[in-house]
Amino acid sequence: MKRSKTQRTSGVLVHITSLPGPYGIGEIGDAAKKFVNDLAKMGQHYWQILPTNFPEKHNSPYDTNSAFAQNPFLISLDELIKDGLIMRSDLNPMPEFSERKVEFEKLKTWKYSILKKAVTNFLLGDEDNLIEYRKFCNEHDFWLNDYALFMVIKDIEDQIDWTYWESGYKNRKKETIEDLELRYNSEIEEIKTLQFLFDRQWRSLKAHACKKGIKLIGDIPIYISFNSSDVWMNQELFKLDEDCKMQFQSGVPPDYFMESGQLWGHPIYDWQKHQDSNFSWWIDRINHMMKYVDIIRIDHFNGLAKYWEIPIEDVDATQGQWVEAKGSELLENVFKNNGNVNLIAEDLGEAAADAAILRNKHDIPGMSILQFSFYEIENLRDMEENTVLYTGTHDNDTSIGWYESLNDKLSKNEIDTLKNVLKSDLKEVNWHMIEYSLQSRAMTVIVPIQDILGLGSDARMNTPGTINDKNWSWRMNGSELKNSMMEKMKNITEKANRA
């Protein structure tokens, strides 16, 4: 994460889907640009988001059908209207959407038909736009056409995993794929056009952020979903058996939070094969992401040092084993290929010491979470400067929700120590935690929007290890971020010499 060694900075974490708006989900149009303006009013430097790739299962942005394709449901309908690709009447009848959560299934049913209409009008429209579209397709040919084929075949095969597809599709037989491209040309073009429309709107958002002095922090999961175009097209880069089934799966070992560990279920990389290819897939992935954001946070960065490999037949993570990865070789190739790559390492967990060797070698900041630090007060006193400090993340409770649960976790003496550290009676624990973080030694601080809004556990974004309709669905109300809150955030940011 390139910065001046003396520059103290801060930013806000909120995912695109959580932005307010009338269409059931946050979008990358006017609401996103307004939020950029709000960040500038708060004296912030960064907007951190979660992955914007197309979710595969459970609407999780960390489980996607491509490392490259973006989520078309984030496309702004108002921008499509401005571009003349749909009319406002095309939105009718519009369902009544919740202001507080994304109702994913209702949204998809309604919005996809509108996006299809926009694609049809685009492909029949202005020639200059079509020239720009064809240029986009050429520049993204290393993933785009294969992704479109993958999505079309998924529809043909009733959404089953690709290992169960008809042999010609599963094994990408040349004559089968050529026939598919002829028979399903319009469906393939539709998928590619939606990616182009997302790209065009995103470039407009990024330009607006740049104008306002706001940098975007994106997020990539270290692992890829098995049922993705990436695994289908690059089977040799993963530990699969001769029938294309996973031999091992991802996860983390038992710890303080989960006694049976976590079973994530992603395919495991064959790191030697990646090294043999000079890490070309990884380099493409990171270079592609750097076109969309200014900084990349690598989720579970520890897995680049060593990872927990679990037999595919296991039902929990207890019998896994540590295996060394090739993170050092990967990062050397990444930075050699592109000197503008800018990273944050999510290095929480048991392999943090191993990850620190990689971080220090490449001057990559790690992460600290204030909520966790209170369980070991010494962590607060010894906090590194080269870290990105969060009051909490998308995987944690909000600061208020966390504090309200402390009676079950800490003794009275520990809670008294917490009050003493924060110099507070904790009536506004969210603001005291924000101010403590901003005043800390950490060179960069990121605050989830829920903590600025003063929200409780109902506003939590995700609870790891659970699958339910609350995860990933939280949204902020359009009138919730008040001028008084923005002014307060600006004042304590300036007081901490971060504005």
Q: What is the mean pLDDT of the chain?
A: 94
Q: Kindly name the residue from 190, 299, 354, 435 that is annotated as catalytic.
A: 299
Q: Per residue in 321-369, pLDDT tens?
A: 999 999 999 999 999 999 999 999 999 988 999 999 999 999 999 999 9
Closest C-alpha among 399, 392, 342, 400 to residue 368:
392
Residue 414 has a pLDDT of 77
CA distance 382 to 363: 19
CATH of 9-495, one of 1.20.1250.20, 3.90.1150.10, 3.20.20.80, 3.40.630.10: 3.20.20.80
CA distance 47 to 42: 12
Cα 345 from chain centroid (whole Å) = 13
Percent of the chain residues topping a pLDDT of 90: 86
CB 332 within 8 A of CB 282: no
On the question of pLDDT at 130 being above 90, the answer is yes
CA distance 269 to 436: 40
On the question of pLDDT at 251 being above 80, the answer is yes
Residue 205 has a pLDDT of 98
User: For residue 129, how many other CB atoms are within 10 A of its CB?
Assistant: 15
On the question of pLDDT at 3 being above 70, the answer is no
On the question of pLDDT at 408 being above 80, the answer is no
Cα 113 from chain centroid (whole Å) = 26
Q: Kindly name the residue from 395, 404, 428, 480 that is annotated as catalytic.
A: 395
Residue 180 token pair: 């598919």
Q: Per residue in 9-23, pLDDT tens?
A: 999 999 999 999 999
Residue 406 backbone zone (phi > 0: left; psi -120 to 50: alpha; other: beta): alpha
Percent of the chain residues topping a pLDDT of 70: 97
CA distance 206 to 130: 22
Overall average pLDDT of the 390-417 stretch: 87
On the question of pLDDT at 381 being above 70, the answer is no
Say which amino acid occupies 300: H
Q: Which residues partner with 292 through β-bridges?
A: none
Say which amino acid occupies 410: L
Q: Per residue in 90-104, pLDDT tens?
A: 999 999 999 999 999
Instruction: Verify whether residue 276 is a known catalytic residue.
Output: no
Residue 457: pLDDT band by 50, 70, 90 thresholds?
very high
On the question of pLDDT at 409 being above 80, the answer is no
Overall average pLDDT of the 208-236 stretch: 97
Q: Kindly name the residue from 63, 346, 347, 397 that is annotated as catalytic.
A: 346
Instruction: Verify whether residue 230 is a known catalytic residue.
Output: no
Instruction: Verify whether residue 299 is a known catalytic residue.
Output: yes
Residue 196 has a pLDDT of 98
CA distance 130 to 44: 38
Residue 2: pLDDT band by 50, 70, 90 thresholds?
low
Helices assigned H by DSSP within 140-256: 144-156, 167-170, 174-183, 185-211, 229-233
Residue 141: pLDDT band by 50, 70, 90 thresholds?
very high
Please tell me the pTM assigned to this model: 0.96
Residue 427 token pair: 């009536």
